[in-house]
């Protein structure tokens, strides 16, 4: 199942395309008008989300852990903003 969602945060738009199969996130693509440092953080984040169950508790925990362990900076955006965009993409799978 494929879903798409977006979230307009205070300092940027986040778009998410997500594929869920067998109750796991199989693929996720995050894009938008934001910056993330170190520069390869976005690719690493997408990789870190693969394999998770498609629920907000798991996604939020992974995002917070990812930011903390990798020293990620996303000026004007917080992990919660990415979680909201992912939630909106997952919600399209239920409708």
For residues 53-75, average pLDDT? 96
Q: What is the pLDDT of residue 94?
A: 77
**Distance between CA atoms of residues 94 and 39, nearest Å:** 33
Find the CATH number of the domain harbouring 77: 3.30.390.50
Q: How confident is the prediction for the chain on average, in pLDDT?
A: 95
pLDDT, tens digit (0-9, with 9 covering 90-100), for 3-27: 999 999 988 999 999 999 999 999 9
**Distance between CA atoms of residues 58 and 15, nearest Å:** 19
**95: confidence class by pLDDT, cuts 50, 70, 90:** low
Overall domain count for the chain: 1
**43: confidence class by pLDDT, cuts 50, 70, 90:** very high
13 is in which domain, residue-wise?
2-94
Q: What is the pLDDT of residue 10?
A: 86
């Amino acid at each position: 199942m494929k879903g798409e969602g977006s979230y307009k945060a205070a300092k940027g738009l986040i778009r998410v395309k997500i594929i869920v199969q067998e109750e796991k996130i199989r693929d996720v693509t995050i894009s938008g008008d934001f910056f993330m440092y170190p520069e390869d953080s976005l690719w690493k984040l997408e990789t870190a989300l693969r394999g998770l169950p498609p629920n907000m508790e798991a996604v939020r925990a992974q995002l917070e852990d990812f930011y903390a362990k990798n020293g990620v900076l996303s000026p004007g955006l917080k992990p919660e903003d990415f979680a909201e965009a992912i939630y909106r993409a997952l919600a399209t799978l239920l409708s």
